Structure 1
């Protein structure tokens, strides 16, 4: 596909041939189970990250990939992973909990999404996919892990270490390791945990390592130097940092006016599904409660919410049972929800990249969307860095009078 989301759904529309000649999946020597699944999903053309990385990853090279969310990188590493496992059958004698391939991701939502995508791509391979995430029942995850051999393990760092330390999971037989969203791992303080996980795996001379990041900071490059062998670096610059299908508005307001503005926005008929972002958990909690008291059907997504409840919230939102979700940036990456009509930045993000990830929740799959940011005296100073990243000025407006009544 020419513009695949990282999230893969079996109902993805078939791609049309892009103006610039792209590599077709059927031109690659992929196994029949993978080709069959990709054809069913409507995947005809490789996205740029897939076209540039797959020739190297399929031939066994370590790959350091720079690609934004929504560029198809999840499929890029999953295809390479499945092809290697299919080409190199597992030994006849295997112990329970011995994973052959590992994907580490920073958030529970992203792990669940990657695992879901893996099950779709690998549906005809006969290979098993297991997940380990915090916030969900440990016993149930352990039971699932012991239900059969572990071909592919997708996990958050903390919960994976729990299972390793209890000797329920073993990483010494890993053939491939994928580290996704490395820059986010750094931001969230997970790198010490990831370093411990890497030390449990075979040496970099005896495994293939794929590392993906939205940015190549000095810290990310240092980690790649430590963890990878003779790596190939692939950089995909987004054609547009912010999608052209998203109308971006910035309303200049006081802090006291923000909730009134949000309340009136939500009452508009065209605001059918809305994601509201704030920077801190306590801000999200207060906002969620105030909206519920106003009678809105609204959910909450943040790191303190139990995983089962977060999954139900997402399902309710996708099904239209709730109108809005209030979220921290934990929901800004790795989650794909079709038909989000509006995104509101109740507080401007402190990292400019998070602005791009937030507004990317709308205007997907060719549909249009609207992003509305509230800039007050406390966070308007964050706008210049966002504009620098976008490469253009954002028009700052006074809200219409009817939205402040």
Structure 2
């Protein structure tokens, strides 16, 4: 076989390429003996150590136990159940599988959360042949039907309403479900989805013939009642953070009147530090009005609420992630389960009615190790909600006065002028320091050059005497000295003076020698 025809295979990935040091008190994903294709994807997404909810749930869920987990958004529970689902499907392959028959079903209360879970699942199945399909309302139904009909579906991520629609159209069959995941069960309950989920669960295999994982932020009596009905002897895991808000989020609550709110908001989003801002309000009409006012004032913003069509909501989120506009005004539909890196500020234009939503809102900033700022407005209409928020986050909230520059036009102009003046002074100071440093360097260089020149002059040889002739004349002896110059290019008065001085010294020496000779004679 010639070299030209020889085909080289890309070397296979090996677990040795994924090095994570053992740390006491932390669980590495290496320690869980996961499939090699999943480990490669885990390395690519940047996971190294399991979060507390992952470390507590995975040993049981990977062993096949039903499980209920109590955990907040942002604790890593999505990866916890996805790793369980993917591992089970990779280790128990089917010889034959039909279209429209998913092996794992993940239910989420909102479209955004379902799409986020599907995105995460796609990343973790990148190096396997598992297929992930999302089915959510507000998007092209026929396209979803076609996707389910034309390809295998291993993991189906869906919202309850759209899934029942597809079931009624005979596009999805749940009789082959091996794993059922119900995420944010408390939210499902609040949004009235429980009747739909009951219909879905009845279409799936019985409890003892499937593995069920449920996650909720709270374990209310209603949730525990559903757990008893939908799971089989589950393991119960609770992860309750002592501090529910991140240390990376700088929190401010300002006492502001209803009339001042918009003026203050406009100033906040106009700050240089406000690189990417999410503004939350409780109602759709408030969100609409805010966006219209901000646009009228020349601020590039978009709206995200339940009344926005789903395809437009997806485009809006993508545009915000890509930095096409700087301000996103949203209801709590964007407060949960949406991961957007680089959000510098979160503004609660109205305080949420549920203290838990406060945590979800401000959790959109201060992500991935970066610092963030949360600003909440407390006016006469909603300031009474502060005690409930304090109790929930287990921390005292200090209500502050609004900075004068955000309320008064004159103060705002003065603040901008002062900021400009400070910048100019800092620039001038830097220029003076740079110039001073340059002068010092030039002085040192000049002194060094002078020293070198002096040393060179001291060491330089001008010439040497090649011969001396003495002739007797009537007026006395006449002396002629011949000097050979070493460097032809030496010029100037200093050289000539030095040559003359040498000649004179030589002549005097010869004259003295002649007189001494005459006396002796």
Correspondence 1:224-263 to 2 at 5 A = 224-263=227-266
Structure 1 contact 363–370 (Cα < 8 Å) conserved: yes
Correspondence 1:389-404 to 2 at 5 A = 389-404=392-407
Question: Structure 1's 31 and 18: CA in aligned 2 closer, same or farther, altered over 3 A?
Answer: closer
Query: 2 CA distance for matches of 1:367 and 1:121?
Result: 24
Q: Which residue does 1:368 correspond to in 2?
A: 371
Query: 2 CA distance for matches of 1:359 and 1:279?
Result: 14
Query: 1 CA distance for matches of 2:22 and 2:285?
Result: 45
Structure 1 contact 102–176 (Cα < 8 Å) conserved: yes
Correspondence 1:311-350 to 2 at 5 A = 311-350=314-353
Please give the per-residue CA displacement for 1:197-226, whole angstroms capped at 9, x wherever unaligned: 111111101110000111111111111111
Q: Which residue does 1:131 correspond to in 2?
A: 134
Question: Structure 1's 26 and 365: CA in aligned 2 closer, same or farther, altered over 3 A?
Answer: same
1:221 pairs with one of 215, 221, 224: 224
Q: Secondary structure at the match of 1:170?
A: coil
1:156 pairs with one of 154, 159, 170: 159
1:358 pairs with one of 361, 368, 375: 361
Residue 16 (structure 1) shift: 8.2
Query: 2 CA distance for matches of 1:245 and 1:381?
Result: 26
Residue 191 (structure 1) shift: 1.2
Correspondence 1:65-144 to 2 at 5 A = 65-92=69-96, 94-144=97-147
Residue 19 (structure 1) shift: 6.9
Structure 1 contact 17–45 (Cα < 8 Å) conserved: no
Unaligned runs of 5+ in 1: 1-13
Structure 1 contact 15–43 (Cα < 8 Å) conserved: no
Using the size of structure 2 for normalisation, the TM-score is 0.73
Question: What is the root-mean-square deviation of aligned Cα atoms in Å?
Answer: 1.5
Greater helix content? 2
Q: Secondary structure at the match of 1:146?
A: helix
Q: How many residues align?
A: 391
Question: Structure 1's 19 and 378: CA in aligned 2 closer, same or farther, altered over 3 A?
Answer: farther
Structure 2 contact 342–367 (Cα < 8 Å) conserved: yes
Please give the per-residue CA displacement for 1:347-396, whole angstroms capped at 9, x wherever unaligned: 00000000000001111111111111001111011110000011121110
Q: Which residue does 1:299 correspond to in 2?
A: 302
Query: 1 CA distance for matches of 2:67 and 2:166?
Result: 27
Q: Secondary structure at the match of 2:75?
A: coil
Q: Which residue does 1:285 correspond to in 2?
A: 288
Using the size of structure 1 for normalisation, the TM-score is 0.94
> Is 2:176 aligned against 1:173?
yes
Query: 1 CA distance for matches of 2:162 and 2:312?
Result: 18
Query: 2 CA distance for matches of 1:302 and 1:347?
Result: 15
Query: 1 CA distance for matches of 2:349 and 2:87?
Result: 44
Runs of at least 4 residues of structure 1 off by over 3 A? 14-20
Residue 240 (structure 1) shift: 2.0
Query: 2 CA distance for matches of 1:81 and 1:256?
Result: 51
Residue 255 (structure 1) shift: 1.1
Q: Secondary structure at the match of 1:143?
A: helix
Question: Structure 1's 397 and 16: CA in aligned 2 closer, same or farther, altered over 3 A?
Answer: farther
Structure 2 contact 20–28 (Cα < 8 Å) conserved: no
1 or 2 for the larger relative contact order (CA 8 Å, sep ≥6)? 1
2:269 pairs with one of 263, 266, 279: 266
Q: Secondary structure at the match of 1:34?
A: helix
Query: 1 CA distance for matches of 2:53 and 2:300?
Result: 38
Residue 114 (structure 1) shift: 0.5
Q: Which residue does 2:48 correspond to in 1?
A: 44
Q: Secondary structure at the match of 1:193?
A: helix
Q: Secondary structure at the match of 2:302?
A: strand
Please give the per-residue CA displacement for 1:52-109, whole angstroms capped at 9, x wherever unaligned: 11111111100101111111111110110011111211242x3321111100001111
Question: Structure 1's 390 and 18: CA in aligned 2 closer, same or farther, altered over 3 A?
Answer: farther
Query: 2 CA distance for matches of 1:324 and 1:19?
Result: 41
Q: Secondary structure at the match of 1:300?
A: strand
Unaligned runs of 5+ in 2: 1-17, 409-521
Q: Which residue does 1:30 correspond to in 2?
A: 34
Q: Which residue does 2:203 correspond to in 1?
A: 200
